[in-house]
Amino acid sequence: MTTPPQPLTAKDVAKVALLARLAVSESDLERMTGELSKIVGFVSMLGELDTSDVAPLAHPLDTQNVFRDDVPAASLSTAEALQSAPRHDGECFLVPAVLGDSGAA
């Protein structure tokens, strides 16, 4: 039997929202805390199932190779690839820095 999960707090949900870059109002935060707590509770119930006689699965369905053959084809030109980019310098996509000014980890 597994230990029940600790109840989620509004602080936990706010942290996840921040990591997901979601703006959440106080009223939504309260509602989402309750809803996510229920979901975590339902998932924790799965730990109570006896699966000792169930073979591990990589996929729930029998599947065959569903990928197409890898056939070389013409690529987009740089101009075509950058055509819909919100920001570019003519050669590369321009994106906000996520590692700071130096780019060093």
Answer whether residue 56 shows pLDDT above 50: yes
CA angle 70, 76, 82 (to 5 degrees): 135
Section 82-99 average pLDDT: 91
- Whether the per-residue pLDDT at 102 is higher than 80: the answer is no
User: How many Å apart are CA 44 and CA 2, to the nearest integer?
Assistant: 8
pTM reported for the whole predicted model = 0.48
The domains of the chain, with CATH numbers, are 10-48 (1.10.20)
